Amino acid sequence: DSKLEFKRGDRILVAGPAGAGKTSVVGRLAARLTCQKHLPVKLVSLDDHKVGAIEELASYADLLGVDDYSMHTSPDSKLAMDRSKVVIFDTCAMPRDQQHLADLKTRIESLEPTHRLLVFSALMRSSDVESYAREVDWLKPTHLVFTMIDLTRRLGSLLAAASASDLKIAMITDSSGGDGAMIAAGPAELADIILGREEGRE
């Protein structure tokens, strides 16, 4: 969705499976909004499971000179509802424990996200992407984001996710070791990328 734009007061939830690159997406999106769009940004961590998750987010905040905090250590939702900034929420991987999942659902709904980005790694198998997209249907995602597109020649998982979720792809990005590009590509650009990388077989 190359027309996707963010403004002050937006609350962007970034969710997805473990290892998908959610926190990297948060950092890159924050950099884009602060450096290119000149918007004030706040980073908020909802992740109370991943070791170092809060520190990783805090590092991005320090580099960009933006506010950050953890809802685990400072569970005041009023801090997260700052309408003067674009607030980006970094979530944990969806927990298997049903009580923890129910708590996370309640917490997410209380934040009233305006955008819900579902992040997948391009390295995931198409069948796994489809299954996960159906599992988190309750999240009501609004857009897809794909990471690590530089690490594979097969990008069918992009199409599988878009088909399974009926969502637009908002952004694609390379691995964290790459040049940091975050592309908001339209259908024609995505088709060129996919057709240029997929290996055809007779």
Distance CA 144, CA 142 (A): 7
Tokens 């009501």, residue located: 140
Q: What is the pLDDT of residue 202?
A: 42
Question: How many Cα atoms are found within 13 Å in the side-chain-facing hemisphere of 105?
Answer: 13
Percentage of the chain beyond pLDDT 90 is: 24
pLDDT in tens, 113-130: 999 999 999 899 989 988
Distance CA 128, CA 93 (A): 15
Q: Find all residues with CB under 8 Å of 124, minimum gap 6, and list them.
A: 17, 20, 132, 157
Between 59 and 186, whose confidence is greater?
59
**DSSP bridge pairs for 80:** none
Rounded (10°) angle between helices 156-165 and 126-135? 30
Across 131-139, average pLDDT: 89
Q: How many CB atoms lie within 10 A of CB 151?
A: 13
Across 59-88, average pLDDT: 74
pLDDT, mean over the chain: 82
* 119 touches 172 (CB < 8 A): no
